Amino acid sequence: MSPKILGWPLTIVGVLMFGLWTLAYIFIIRKAYKDKTYGIPIVDGCLNVSWEFVFSFNLAGKLSTGLEWGNRSWLLFDALSVLTYFLYGRQQQTIPWIKKHYYKILIASLLVCGVGQYQFMLYFQDDYGVVSSLLMDVLMAALFIGLFFKRPDMRGLSYAGAWLMMLGNIFGFIFIHFWFPTQYADGHMISRPQWPEPVSFHFLTTLYVATTVMNAIYVYLMWNRRRELRAAGTPA
């Protein structure tokens, strides 16, 4: 199926993915600053800002202009999220050694994630960032659930952001499911003609399903916790 055949329907799906994820960023970051904490797990934030940097500046040289500028706008939101780690992250740490060396660990994590994302792209020839982004989605979905159980009062956790993140991922998966195979012309990758088309794309499907299930669990947990807090007369 060629990109020309996919046409406007796929473009609309891509716009929905971008719009929903942008709104998710806005709600999550706004809640984080309001509650004076961070709203995205730190490991995810370090990986996210690194990924956006690599693919915002198109270091592989393979992305379209639209995707490149979309990533640049997300890089701004990731930078705002990383700022919450510097402003509020240290006081959230419960392990004394980590709290003492928090800023050094955070900076080292950002550097390691940046180098790691770039090297992952080169080693696996992930020119479009598809595999690395879907692996991050799985990790993010799992760590958001972990952050939920660390925050019984839901400080920094956005219910609207949870819904928007899940819906953004769903439209993102639809986009990638139809768009990514079209990047292989005559059985070889357009950007790297020596790179053969995978025998199966079902590995990506596995990542789609795992992420969606965990996103749905996170939304349910948030909904149930909000209901409990409201029943107890506590604002959520």
Rounded Cα–Cα distance for residues 112 and 139 (Å): 17
Residue 84 CB burial class (10 angstroms; 0-12, 13-18, ≥19): buried
CB atoms within 10 A of CB 134: 23
The 10s digit of each residue's pLDDT in 8-59 is: 888 899 999 999 999 999 999 999 999 999 999 999 999 999 999 988 876 6
DSSP 196: B
Distances from the Cα of 112 to the Cαs of 51, 78, 124, in angstroms?
Answer: 12, 16, 18
In this prediction the pTM is: 0.91
Residues forming a β-bridge with 115: none
Domain boundaries, the chain: 3-231
d(CA 97, CA 45): 21
pLDDT < 70: residue spans in the chain: 1-6, 58-64, 66, 236
The pLDDT, as a whole number, for residue 108 is 98
Q: How far apart are CA 136 and CA 73, in angstroms?
A: 18
Give the mean pLDDT of the chain.
91
For the chain, how many residues are written? 236
Q: How far is CA 64 from the centre of its chain?
A: 20
Contacts for 158 with CB less than 8 Å, ≥ 6 apart: 27, 28, 30, 31, 39
Number of Cβ within 10 Å of residue 195's Cβ equals 13
HEC string for 11-30: HHHHHHHHHHHHHHHHHHHH
